Structure 1
Amino acid sequence: MDIIDKRIYSCNEAICKNIESLQANERGLLSQNILSQLRNFLECVFLKIYVASGNSLIENEYQNIKNAIKFINTLQGKYRFLNQFHKLLQISVSHYTLDPDSSERLMLKYYEYLLRIKTFMKDNYGIELLENLHKFPLNTDTAFTQYYEAIEKVLENKAVIARKTIQHGRFYIEKLHPVIVNDVIFYEVTFIPAHDKST
């Protein structure tokens, strides 16, 4: 195992231990602890992609990270979400320790990115990360959890969704809300008809 993989696993271990050790009613403290690890974790992922793409590291560790960030910024497509996540982390958690309430809201927002990193690293490098991410208390309201689990089961069986239920026409997207059920991301989309009375 090379040094970058060791660093990724070290950050991963810190995140997973926090998830394992804290209860759902301590979600604010749990979020603070995880947020403090995320930028380092993501930059290690950047280094992995940088080296796997044929680039070599130099002795200056900080310069390696800068080079990897610059390299990822030039990539688009499947790497775009990594770049977006890094920008969000730079704004929100780089040099600050947020209060528990703010940390909770950020973690709920960043959970989707973490799930995408988990999938990305497994699919591209065969690295299993964030193994217990599903234990992070996303929804403390069990009624919503059961509601979205029922929807997810219907969506899994695409044959159930009949073509006659699809309404054709022009619509505006009013709201887009990511929903995560059993480590699967789907989106709840609110449409409004596109006509002269719509604003």
Structure 2
Amino acid sequence: MTEVAILGGGCFWCTESVFQSVRGVLDVTPGYSGGHIDNPSYEQVCSKTTGHIEVVRVAFDNQVIDFQTILQVFFATHDPTTLDRQGGDVGPQYASAIFCQSPSQTEIARQTIAEVQAQLGEPVVTKVLEAEHFWPAEDYHHNYYVQHPGQGYCQVVISPKLGKFRKQFSQLLVG
């Protein structure tokens, strides 16, 4: 059975590359959610005036991987304690956010945040939001890391994040 998670964990290139490696994930699409204009462009979102957050839409087989495990990967692969920033990426479009698609997802998200906060010993600022329209990003953002592994940002930010993820979650990797 297919379920969808909409997650904002900073730059969608990073989040997309992590979830593309997870067994049970059927599709990962970068995009935007939470703003007040229809079909925003990357440039509009980067202007910090649209209210959108860079997100990924993760479609997954919930008989292979459940929503709580998706969230465990999400929290382990970004910093949920920094408001509107991930490393050098700063602005409201980089907020840590979960756009819950059901009451069950909301409950699981709140429970997982409490667990993560207890483990970290510091406040988690991840926003738990109701589902909003998902706008796919422009085509050139899709599969960005796969298409540009030698690009500077990919080498400095994404590659180390993927290495850490692969070590910590080896049991979840696609064969």
TM-score range, shorter chain: under 0.3
Higher relative contact order (Cα pairs below 8 Å, separated by 6+ residues): 2
Higher strand fraction: Structure 1 or Structure 2?
Answer: 2
Higher helix fraction: Structure 1 or Structure 2?
Answer: 1
TM-score (norm 2): 0.28
TM-score (norm 1): 0.25
Structure with bigger gyration radius:
1
